[in-house]
Amino acid sequence: MEQLIPVNIVVADRSYRIKIKPEEEEAVRRIMKEVNDKIIEFKTAYAGKDLQDYIAMALIMYATHPVTSGGKAQAEGAPYLQEKLQRLEALLDEQLK
């Protein structure tokens, strides 16, 4: 069994303790910084929303734009996401006919 290390990550000023592989720590911290930076960007652009809205907007953006927003770790999952989106689109097309 592979050794997991506990790390604290912060999302929108809330701390979460997770266990990850040691070699993933740098990528996890980089991605969390990007997510938090995006939350701050949305706060600036869309004043007056709830913090939950900013978190959702950042994570939706991150999940739907993996190649442009997350680098290598996200780009590796892009073909899988693309395949799922194509299946979903086909199902929707069938329902509309």
43 and 84 share one domain: no
Number of domains observed in the structure of the chain = 2
Residues 44 and 89 in one domain: no
Pair 61, 15 in one domain = yes
Q: Could you give phi then psi for residue 17, rounded to 5 degrees?
A: -100, 125
Please provide residue 50's backbone torsions phi and psi, each rounded to the nearest 5 degrees: -80, 150
Predicted confidence at residue 87, as pLDDT, reads 74
CA distance 44 to 88: 33
Q: Verify that 27 and 43 share a domain, yes or no.
A: yes
Domain shared by 22 and 60, yes or no: yes
- Identify whether residues 29 and 76 lie together within a single domain: no
pLDDT at 77: 53
Helix %, strand %, coil % for the chain, to 5? 70, 15, 15
Tell me what pLDDT residue 6 has. 95
The domain that holds 55 is classified in CATH as 3.30.160.880
Please give the chain's pLDDT, 97 residues, in tens. 679 999 999 988 889 999 999 999 998 898 889 889 999 999 999 988 888 899 888 888 878 876 554 444 445 555 666 776 677 677 766 766 6
What is the domain range of residue 86? Answer: 71-96
